[in-house]
Amino acid sequence: MSRQEQVAATIEAFVRKTFLIDGDDREFSRTCDLFEEGFVDSMGLVKLLSFIEKEFGVTVEEEHLFDERFPTIQGESELIVELMGSTG
């Protein structure tokens, strides 16, 4: 399993548990827009950012929130791996 796949799996598990998304939800995937689809709201974003920073030891800057990849788990995992590479 690649580093990015591990990161994506970790984020997905967190999002499912924290925002109570069951495995049968057909709208939920690693490529859906978590915010537009209503899975994560503004308070949820704070929880998600805190988790990412603590779990992966990276700092998510405001510019990252506006990256076109950020709204999806897949995109977040790409960004995090890039950030991990620049800090390690």
Residue 24, pLDDT score: 81
Residue 88 has pLDDT above 60, yes or no: no
What is the rounded distance in angstroms from the CA atom of residue 46 to the CA atom of residue 42?
A: 7
pLDDT in tens, 21-44: 988 888 899 999 999 999 999 999
Q: Is the dihedral of CA 33, 35, 14, 8 positive or negative?
A: positive
Residue 13 has pLDDT above 90, yes or no: yes
Residue 15 has pLDDT above 80, yes or no: yes
CATH number for region 3-87:
1.10.1200.10
Q: Which two tokens stand for residue 74?
A: 């897949």
Residue 87, pLDDT score: 58
Residue 73 has pLDDT above 60, yes or no: yes
Domain ranges of the chain: 3-87
Angle between helices 3-18 and 42-56 (to 10 degrees): 140
The DSSP line for 12-41 is HHHHHHHTT--TT-TT--TTS-TTTTTSS-
